[in-house]
Amino acid sequence: MSLLESFKGIVGEVNVSEGQIDRLVYSSDASRQKGSAELIVWPVNVEQIHKIIMMARRGNTAIMPRGAGTSMGNAVPSDDIVLDVSKMNHILNVGEGFVEAEAGAALQDINKAIGSRFFPVQPESKKACTIGGMIASNAIGVKALEFGRMENWVEEVTMVDGNGMCLKLKGEALKHVVGMQGSTGIIVSARLKLLKMEDEKSISLLGFNTLTAMQEKLEELNKDTSARNIEFLDDICSEILGFAPKIHLIVEYEGSKGNLKEAEAREVWSAREQLPFLLGQRKHLAADDLLLPFESIPKFLHVLRKDNVPCYGPIGMGILYPVFREDNSMAERFRALYRQFGAKQGVKYGHGKRKHTMDDENSKRFLELKAHYDPKNLFSRGKLI
Amino acid sequence: MKCVECGLCRTKCPVFRAVLKETASPRAKGMLLNREMNEKLFFFCTLCGMHEQECPYCADLQILKQREKLIKSGVSLSRGKQMTDNIKEHGHPFAGKNL
């Protein structure tokens, strides 16, 4: 029996396809890299996922899990089955300080369902990104310095591993799934921590004429415990957002230390959230996500500025996003320089299938996890290793 | 601007929300357009315009233009044909002589 027929027996005729258009659509994602999907399957519950995995084990068939396909990290399949969890989008329970949802639930729907509480990790793709994808990529939100990444806000993950076991991962074991790019199992659902609405905050928008002046202020701010978020905008990004054409730092303070309050402060953050799209409208669509040592930042920004490459990001964490045009080769030239600045790529979008190096310790840890959870290497082949 | 295939349109699209497959999303139509492919998928849209409101790039998916091209090349949906036949026969798009 063909794989298609076998899967029909599991999920029903309408929830599996190897049609040309379905395969084309599922061969790509927001990174716009082109892969190749062999077949697409849309399970609706954990039992179906278990059966799909057991079937894939028998035929040694690779599975690429997929959420909303908003990843910028090249998470496209290479002749794999795509397992799309979009039909598992239910919000299961909203309680005091937590929400439980299936992997395919969109963050936007969760934001609506949790009422007066809020979930702190809000990436720019919040309109569409799913909980499963956010966990797999250990997503980072706009206010990253204050709230950190998904790993700080996940309490429990239910997943089906490559042995077909349905596991509930908590505590230390969450490291075996959060940020693993779907390499250890198919995320089925998760329990996330929520916060009460944010305390009073204010912001200051600080302008600088030189990178040196900005760096001096940044060093000072890094010692200021009331500075909760520090976001960098170069002069190109500042101008796009309607600010003066200077380098800016958006500094969010706990309490009323900043000079912009409530509505004005919200306006500045809202403008910042639009920045990747405004850059995209100007053909700057290829964003990289870099973690840099603080001492390298001024030199790195200086090199970008010489070639008019826009750059922004939560500089308080040492993270920057240079954004290249897709229609020239400048990105490749810069990527060759990243190592010289001590920059690590993949801090926001995950590694996907982008070229990267993993140090020996991480590589060993990853292989041990793979051997435990996915000994037949069914999931996300080509990602991470 | 062309669709950049970011997928931010999908959550509010009523067709995607009903079907819950990427192929039903506005992005899928954008992908076809970017690859200069015209398929029946362009009929799979309510024309509500929600994707235009949601799209951060104001991409134009040219749904009506693509449909027009399809119909001119002889591709149509059986329901569409039934509707035009009804108009020709009864003066209105619904089956039966009386409204």
Closest residue in B to A68 (Cα–Cα)? B7
| pLDDT tens digit sequence for A236-263 | 999 999 999 999 999 999 888 999 988 8
> Under 8 Å CB-to-CB from A111, ≥6 apart: which residues?
A118, A119, A122, A126
Residue A38: pLDDT band with limits 50, 70, 90: very high
How far apart, in whole angstroms, are the C-alpha atoms of residue A275 and residue A124?
Answer: 9
Say yes or no to pLDDT of A189 above 70.
Answer: yes
**Mean model confidence pLDDT for chain A:** 91
| pLDDT at site A361 | 76
Residues present in chain B in total: 99
Judging contacts by C-beta atoms under 8 Å, the chain B residues touching residue A87 are 20
Evaluated on CA atoms A323, A326, A328, A334, the torsion sign reads positive
**Residue A249 contacts residue A221 (beta carbons within 8 Å):** yes
Name the β-bridge partners of A70: none
Beta-carbon separation of B21 and A106 below 8 A? no
Residue A122: pLDDT band with limits 50, 70, 90: very high
| pLDDT at site B99 | 64
Q: How far is A274 from chain B (nearest CA, A)?
A: 8
How far apart, in whole angstroms, are the C-alpha atoms of residue B61 and residue A52?
Answer: 35
- Taking alpha carbons only, the member of A278, A150, A11 closest to residue B4 is A278
| pLDDT at site A105 | 97
What strands lie across the sheet with A78-84, from one edge to the other?
A: A16-17, A36-41, A78-84, A63-66
| pLDDT at site A357 | 55
Strand, helix or coil at A102? strand
Judging contacts by C-beta atoms under 8 Å, the chain A residues touching residue B31 are 24-25, 28
| Count of CB atoms situated within 10 Å of the CB of A180 | 26
| pLDDT tens digit sequence for A41-78 | 999 999 999 999 999 999 999 999 999 999 877 778 98
Evaluated on CA atoms A164, A193, A292, A280, the torsion sign reads positive
pLDDT in tens, chain B (99 residues): 889 999 999 989 999 999 999 999 999 999 999 999 999 999 999 999 999 999 988 899 999 999 999 999 998 888 888 888 889 988 888 877 666
CA angle A298, A299, A305 (to 5 degrees): 85
Strand, helix or coil at A377? coil
Residue A296: pLDDT band with limits 50, 70, 90: very high
- Secondary element (H or E) of residue B68: helix B63-72
Radius of gyration over every alpha carbon of chain B, rounded to an integer in angstroms: 15
Asked if the C-beta of B23 comes within 8 angstroms of chain A's C-beta atoms, the answer is: yes
| pLDDT at site A255 | 86
